[in-house]
Structure 1
Amino acid sequence: MSQGITARDRQARISAYTAFAVQGLCFASLVTQVPQIQKAHHLSDATLSLVLLMVPLVAGVGSVVSGALFQRLGSGPVLRVSQPAVAVTIALIGLTGDLSFGGTLPRPPAIAEDVALYTAVALFGLFVGAVDASMNAQAVAVERRYGISLITGFYAVWSVAGILGGLWAALTNRLDLSLFTGFAIAAAVGIAASLTTGPRLYRRAEEGDGPTAEELKAAGRSVPWRPILIVGTAMAVAYLADAAISSYGAKYLDDELSASDWVAPLGYVAYQITMVISRGVADFAVRRSGAVRVVRLGGLVGIAGMVGVVAAPSAPFAIAAFALAGLGLSVIAPVSFSAAGRVDPTGLGVAVSRVNIFNYVGFVLGAAVVGAIAPLSAGHGLRIAFTVPTVLILIVFITAKGFAPAPVEGARPDAPAMERPMA
């Protein structure tokens, strides 16, 4: 650990942990209630797929816009504004299902409720993208101050908060609370935590100056694309499966396996629990057996889990299958970033930023592919749609050798890496 860690650094670290926790809580609170949102707005499966696809697409815009603001303001102020905004938007999404406020006002036309939903979801995506970028920037700044890799711990906090968010969704459905009430309580917790710890995030002057555009352009020419494409393709497949599970897992349990409203969010919870467990031992496994074996084993376990999801005869079986899928898929992204570090001689994170593109590609494709297939086969649409990521995970085996590329001179294979958490 670097010498000279101050109380200010410890405050920033705790604040960054809090940011990851709030993001995990808000994201899980929303995605596990997809079936309830669909029922509240009487959305067809095709319309729902468009609503879900809107989130990663708009999130990409939010990430780009916030990145442009970092040079002038720093990531801390961006995070302090965007994170409470995410919490507010999930409450707004819950409110759009009943603009009559429980019958105290005349119910507005359905089109008004739909427009309100689309607007709230677009705002959610915009602010989620901003939070993704800014909380990662804060985490990297913390790592730089401490001089050791801490990123896995931040994502572990994200997953634990996601588990709590899924359990909260199950409880609100069990108690038959309205969507707005459930979302508003989660939002209140998130807002309170953000406002309490936000002032302790690093400010621009404390984050340090990033590379200039000229430096990044020159560095980019020294990073080979071929190894990036190999591991990036495998990571895109992993995130495609992740998007299918996070966006449609609860709906699958609700629609096709007739799970109770309070049971439907538990597939996501099980998936997150095993991801925490797997990532807790993945580093040790890589050191002991090598990245190629770990990726192949992860792919094998991931396929087994997805086959179980497709073949599930009941909700409990599917929940166990989601857990198995999380156990395997969770190792692919972190090892992808480590592989990128082996071929990046710049020290500026060029290779990591390139690999990072593929997680958004996978997430968008997952929402689009599953959303497009699901409405085509009444009664079994999601079961059929889940076969797509199941088959595509075979790509992991084809690309596995690429996870141990020959290191480029000057590269830092242990360099900190950023990733969007697998939901």
Structure 2
Amino acid sequence: MQQARIGRWAVGAMFLVNGFIMGAWAPQIPLLLPRHDITESTLGALILALGLGAVGAMIFAGRLINLFGSRRVLRTFAVLLIPVLPAVVFAPNVYLLALAMVAFGAFTGCMDVAMNANAVVVERSMGRAIMSSSHGFWSLGGFIGGIFGGQLLAAYGSEVQALWAAGCAALVVTTASLFLMPDAPAPKAHADEPKPALLPRDGALWLIGVMALFSMVPEGAILDWAALYLTRELGGDPAISGYAFGLFSGAMAVLRFAGDGVRNRFGAVRTLQVSGFIAAIGLLGGAMAPSPWFAILSFGFAGLGVANMVPVLFSAAGNHPGLSSGAGIAAVTMVGYSGILVAPASIGYIAEHIGYRWTYGSLATLAIFVALMAHRARAADDLRGRDAAQAAIIDPPA
């Protein structure tokens, strides 16, 4: 049990590093436009390259975890992620920038899947949920990276900020890697048992993935485009350009650390319903904001709603009947994280033609959809169902 408690803090530190890098990346985004003399559509294509790298890597992340275990995969890709932000910032031309963006996405994507899988390992050892608080560490990292990263960028420039972020990440990753929880021994496969498909063939699981996607699209939209929205349409100062994602992540962190208790009291379905409607209200407030600070506060309110939507859906995937927790989480992570990595590319194109206000307003409908479909996540509370599914997979009937 002591090892599990230490492992919980170690995997939480990995979530924090991942969020910290993404938060530090947010205020860097507007600077790519003048540095490489590109349009918003080109920037959207570069962000799409990042997303495709992530989703493409996630397809194989589950297989890597089955072969080597979540701890080893997490350690590897956490180390690979450290130099990626400086590589993006120091890229001398658009072609090398595109390659760096693909690597950024691939390493982030594999680290995402591995750290969620390792959180499941800790949950099973401790006998209780830690998924919401683990995602809380991600949000806390995004808050730190966005707030301090924006200030450091304004004071010392993008190069110093990127190196500072990489150095901080290296320190935490090096320490946390020593204490990650090892995976339980994998069950022996039956001789006549077919190899699992690369992607599960279960429509209900993919619907949960779509709900995760719709929950993450607003997060990606605020991460990648809120800084431009504040500076270009609302006349905000560049020094506060990272505040929108920073406050959004900070609000998510607070609610995610309390999320496991909220779910235990009100249940996954009710939690998801209320969260979806809160997120929709915050996004509408940001869309109609008369000033930069009103938009920042609205996005922070949206973060209160978005906070526990993804952890609930990941738990529902992990408890999905007929599949191992790893297979369910890998599939939903792949679909869901395309919301934060792939969808913003199309958002940039849309915003360039209709403006950011209409774009953020339309995203509120996605949060409402998740709230209306919340009953699909009832498996998040069905621990007995998960155990039965695991037993069926480990020892299938003759």
TM-score range, shorter chain: 0.7 to 0.9
Instruction: Give, in angstroms, the shift of residue 224 of structure 1.
Output: 6.4
Match of residue 131 from structure 1: 111
Which of 147, 158, 165 is the aligned partner of 1:179? 158
Match of 1:132, as an amino acid?
A: D
CA contact (8 A) 2:74 2:111 kept: yes
1:242, 1:363 within 8 Å by CA — same for their partners in 2? Answer: yes
Mapped partners of 2:43, 2:5: distance in 1: 43
Whether the 8 Å contact between 1:55 and 1:121 is mirrored in structure 2 is: yes
Q: Out of 29, 34, 40, which is 2:35 matched to?
A: 40
What is the correspondence of 1:146-157 to structure 2 with a 5 Å cutoff?
146-157=126-137
Q: For residues 225-374 of structure 1, what are the structure 2 equivalents within 5 Å?
A: 225-226=203-204, 228-340=205-317, 343-344=320-321, 348-364=325-341, 366-374=343-351
For 1:327 and 1:155, how far apart are their aligned partners in 2? 13
- 3-state secondary structure, aligned to 1:208: coil
Distance, in Å, in 2 between the alignment partners of 1:243 and 1:197 is: 27
Q: How has the CA–CA distance of structure 1 residues 72 and 401 changed in structure 2, closer, same or farther, with 3 Å as cutoff?
A: closer
Structure 2 Cα separation of the partners of residues 412 and 125 of structure 1: 31
Matched residue, 1:19: 14
Residues 414, 54 of structure 1: alpha-carbon distance in 2 compared, 3 angstrom cutoff: farther
C-alpha separation in 2, matches of 1:370 and 1:193: 33
For structure 1, the residue ranges without an aligned partner over 5 or more in a row are 100-112, 417-423
Kindly indicate whether residue 55 of structure 2 is the aligned counterpart of residue 60 of structure 1: yes
2:82: which partner in 1?
87
**Separation of aligned partners in 1, 2:172 and 2:378:** 40
Q: Which 5+ residue runs of structure 2 have no aligned equivalent? A: 391-398
Name the structure 1 match of 2:171. 192
Aligned length in residues: 387
Q: Which deviations, in whole Å up to 9, do the C-alpha atoms of 1:47-68 show, x marking residues without a partner?
A: 0001111112101222334443
SS at match of 2:87: helix
Q: Is residue 302–residue 328 contact of structure 1 (8 Å, CA) maintained in 2?
A: yes
Does 2:373 match 1:394? no
Distance (whole Å) between structure 1 residues aligned to residue 118 and residue 175 of structure 2? 16
What's the secondary structure of 1:245's corresponding residue?
Answer: helix
Q: Which structure has the greater CA radius of gyration?
A: 1
Aligned residue identity for 1:275: M
Identity %: 26
Q: Distance in 2 between matches of 1:291 and 1:73?
A: 32
- Map Cα deviations across residues 343-375 of structure 1 (whole Å, 9 max, x no partner): 525554554444434313433552133122122
Distance (whole Å) between structure 1 residues aligned to residue 382 and residue 169 of structure 2: 43
Whether the 8 Å contact between 1:373 and 1:384 is mirrored in structure 2 is: no
Task: Give, in whole Å, the separation in 1 of the partners of 2:2 and 2:381.
Answer: 35
Indicate conservation of the 8 Å contact 1:86/1:127, yes or no. yes
Deviation at 1:415, TM superposition (A): 11
In the TM superposition, what is the alpha-carbon distance from 1:30 to its structure 2 partner? 0.7
- Between the aligned partners of 2:107 and 2:150, the Cα distance in structure 1 is 25
Partner Cα distance (1:231, 1:69) in 2: 23
Given residue 68 of structure 2, which amino acid in structure 1 is its aligned partner? L
Alpha-carbon separation, structure 1, partners of 2:178 and 2:385:
35
Establish whether residue 384 from structure 1 lines up as the match of residue 364 from structure 2: no
The 1:302–1:286 alpha-carbon spacing in structure 2 relative to 1, beyond 3 Å, is same
TM-score by length of 1: 0.81
Q: Which moved more, 1:401-410 or 1:189-198?
A: 401-410
Once the two structures are superposed, residues 279-306 of structure 1 have per-residue CA deviations (whole angstroms, 9 ceiling, x without a partner) of 2444444444444433332222111111
Distance (Å, rounded) in 1 between the aligned partners of 2:124 and 2:383: 22
Deviations 1:215-273 (A, max 9, x none): 7749x99x9644x3554433321112221111111121122112111101000111012
Kindly provide the amino acid, as one letter, of the partner of residue 25 in structure 2.
Answer: L
Q: What is the Cα deviation at residue 166 of structure 1?
A: 0.8
Is 1:411 aligned to residue 385 of structure 2? Answer: yes
Query: Which range moves more in the overlay, 282-291 or 386-395?
Result: 282-291
RMSD of equivalent CA atoms: 3.2
Q: Which residue of 2 aligns with 1:201?
A: 180
> 2:94 is matched with which residue: 103, 107, 114?
114
One-letter amino acid of the counterpart of residue 131, structure 2: I
CA distance in 1: counterparts of 2:389 and 2:5, whole angstroms: 21
Q: Are the structure 2 counterparts of residues 73 and 224 from structure 1 closer, same or farther at C-alpha, using a change threshold of 3 Å?
A: closer
